[in-house]
Structure 1
Amino acid sequence: MLSARKTDELLDAMKRAHSRGIEADCIASADACEDAIPRVALNTLAAFGRVNILVNNARATWGAPAEHSTIFA
């Protein structure tokens, strides 16, 4: 299950996964919303039955080395 804020980017990533033979689905979600995590979890379980791997890749669009990010300040 792919989850991010931008639906168009999610659909593109899902299509790339499918082109490589990877089963994938997506759900647009803003993690800052209180109901986002349970909604993504429930949709993932409904689609796939279980979670094999969880990757939390917040701030992936940060255009600089991680040590320059303000989240570490």
Structure 2
Amino acid sequence: PRVVAHVPYVGFAFMALADRGTRMALIGLPAALIALWSLVELARALRPRRTPDDGPAGVVPTRDPEMACA
């Protein structure tokens, strides 16, 4: 065999991937971000939808005429 071409510094990436901690971080970090994003989307989907008739956030509408503002 004869070397025809080479790509500099690729060996460093292969050496880093030989380390178990680096592999776990390389796989675990994106997996954790996807899981977090999925939980946020799930929480948004389960939250009740507000309509313009609901009024300001945190205010519970009342049907009592004595409590209504004129």
From the two aligned structures, give the one with the greater strand fraction. 1
In our comparison, the structure showing a higher alpha carbon Rg is 2
Q: TM-score range by the shorter chain?
A: under 0.3
RCO (CA 8 Å, sep 6+): is it higher in 1 or 2? 1
From the two aligned structures, give the one with the greater helix fraction. 2
**What TM-score does the superposition give when structure 1 sets the normalisation length?**
0.23
